[in-house]
Amino acid sequence: MIEVQGLTKRYGPTTAVEALSFEVRPGAVTGFLGPNGSGKSTTMRMIMGLDRPDEGKALVAGRRYGELRWPLREVGALLEARTFHPGRSARAHLTALAAGGGIRPARVDEVLAAVGLSGVAGRRAGTYSLGMAQRLGIAAALLGDPGVLLFDEPVNGLDPEGVRWIRELMKSLAAEGRTVLLSSHLISEMALTADHLVVIGQGRLLADTTVRELTTRGRSLEEAFFALTGASADYRGAAHPTYRGATADHQGTAADHHEVASAIDAAPERNDR
């Protein structure tokens, strides 16, 4: 389980995350949803011990990431696609990680097969497309067979077949009883993949609820998202929209279904999508 308790992170005068608290429980895909710049990546970096919070704490299985004895065996994460030496092959990259994490060497070929990279495992990773780099990052996350997994925008660079593969992978990992936190800006994909949603705006919690609860009263997940965050969609020059803004009127925590429904009902209808 992941426990986020009162996390706050400031960069100079800018507050990226403010008093954020939520839990990610095993056995379900928890979607982490919010407009661009809402603090999702910063939160995930704090969970992984890459950024130090100014206040609060993030725990994995009851401990901070830095306190884990064998972190690769307990937590796997894909936060950026190209976190490897471009001159190394995929197999060499994973072999080095396995050696450092006390993981049996045979596991390297297992995860390469699982992500569909067996045929190109000997190629220099620097020659990989973005989609292939994403698959290698997922392989690294799975290498230690951890019970907790974090994925930040894992479908970036993947073709439709790859997106479907990611969707089924996330569901299968959760079905095995793992804790899965998945961030994405693709609202329609989140509707198909996530069981539970944590929605944030301007670094603050807006909703912690199920997809079903958030989409009651005949609204799509996209409409509910706009209602909660006050975000607007920007389709300019992109295959998928980006989401901008989160008005002060829509900030605040929706702690249960009734509060979520009230927030949705109170928001104006949007015709600018």
Nearest to 187 by CA among 159, 125, 229: 229
Q: What is the dihedral of CA 51, 53, 57, 62, to 10 degrees?
A: 10
Region of 217 (left: φ > 0; alpha: ψ -120 to 50; beta: rest) is left
C-alpha radius of gyration, the chain, whole number: 19
The reply to whether the predicted model has a pTM over 0.85 is no
The full set of domain ranges for the chain reads: 2-266
**Residue found by looking up tokens 């005949």 in the block:** 218
Q: How much is the pLDDT for 107? A: 97
Helix/strand/coil for 257: helix
**Residue found by looking up tokens 């990989």 in the block:** 128
CATH 3.40.50.150 assigned to domain 2-266? The reply is: no
CA 183/CA 269 separation, integer angstroms: 26
Contact 94, 66 (CB under 8 A): no
Per-residue pLDDT of the chain (273 residues; tens, 9 = 90+): 999 999 999 999 999 999 999 999 999 999 999 887 889 999 999 999 999 999 999 999 899 999 998 999 999 999 987 888 999 999 999 999 999 999 999 999 999 999 999 999 999 999 999 889 999 999 999 999 999 999 998 987 788 888 999 999 999 999 999 999 999 877 888 888 999 999 998 899 998 988 888 777 556 777 777 777 665 444 334 444 444 444 333 333 333 333 333 333 343 333 333
- CB atoms under 10 Å from CB of 66, counted, come to 9
Q: Are strands 148-152 and 75-78 parallel, antiparallel or unpaired?
A: parallel
DSSP string across 14-27: EEEEEEEEEEE-TT
Q: Please name the residues in contact with 139: beta carbons below 8 A apart, sequence gap of 6 or more.
A: 90, 94, 111, 112, 114, 115, 117
